[in-house]
């Protein structure tokens, strides 16, 4: 787990793995849910996390001169990502999702907002603790992206509230 004391390359690898874990959870949820509206929410969330993974991979490869794309892809395919960006074990979230058996979009949005809020808090803490100035910039960028996710989720929730009224 990240502490903020990692150098830039190690921080990028760790962030990539957390984003991968979150992507895997959201993708798993899509497969398990029956409600099409809820499935769409989680599919969108999985796509957001994939964009984060692509961003982190781009940064990592840019720092390394753009070399070894195949090596990074192999790393992605071989490496497990047991923790989400929220610092929550993927298995724990999968269990939580199965327990709730989301029957409506509001329950799905509530869990997603919890995950994204905790991710924001983690990146905020890491940005404050980072010794490496470049790692600090990466953590702040990820924090900003989480704010965007939270805002989108809030807007979705507001639309749902209007529908339910």
Residue 136, token pair as written in the block: 């600090």
Segment 114-125, tens digit of pLDDT: 888 988 998 898
pTM value surpassing 0.85 = no
Average pLDDT over residues 31-50: 84
pLDDT tens-digit series, residues 57-80: 888 888 877 666 677 788 888 888
**25 neighbors 89 (Cβ within 8 angstroms):** no
pLDDT higher than threshold 80 for residue 34? no
CB 21 within 8 A of CB 88: no
Question: How far apart (Å, rounded) are the C-alpha atoms in residues 123 and 121?
Answer: 6
Per-residue pLDDT of 93-136, as tens digits, reads 776 666 655 556 777 788 888 888 988 998 898 889 888 888 88
d(CA 65, CA 67): 5
> Mean of the per-residue pLDDT values for the chain?
81
Do residues 138 and 15 touch, judged by C-beta distance below 8 A? yes
Ordered domains of the chain (ranges, CATH)? 8-164 (1.20.1260.10)
Judging by beta carbons within 10 Å of its beta carbon (0-12, 13-18, 19+), is residue 99 exposed, middle or buried? exposed
Backbone angles phi, psi at 24, to 5 degrees: -65, -40
């Amino acid at each position: 787990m990240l502490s903020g004391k990692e150098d830039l390359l190690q921080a990028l690898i760790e962030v990539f793995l957390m984003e991968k874990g979150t992507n895997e959870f959201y993708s798993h949820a899509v497969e398990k849910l029956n409600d099409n509206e809820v499935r769409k929410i989680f599919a969108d969330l999985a796509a957001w996390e994939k964009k984060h993974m692509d961003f982190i991979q781009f940064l990592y490869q840019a720092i390394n001169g753009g070399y070894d794309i195949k090596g990074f892809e192999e790393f992605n395919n071989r490496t497990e990502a047991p923790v989400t960006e929220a610092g929550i074990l993927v298995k724990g979230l999968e269990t939580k999702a199965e327990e709730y058996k989301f029957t409506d979009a509001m329950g799905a949005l509530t869990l997603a907002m919890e995950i994204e809020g905790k991710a924001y808090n983690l990146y905020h803490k890491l940005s404050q603790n980072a010794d490496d100035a470049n790692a600090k910039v990466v953590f702040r960028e990820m924090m900003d992206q989480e704010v965007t996710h939270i805002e989108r989720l809030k807007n979705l929730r507001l639309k749902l509230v209007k529908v339910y009224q």
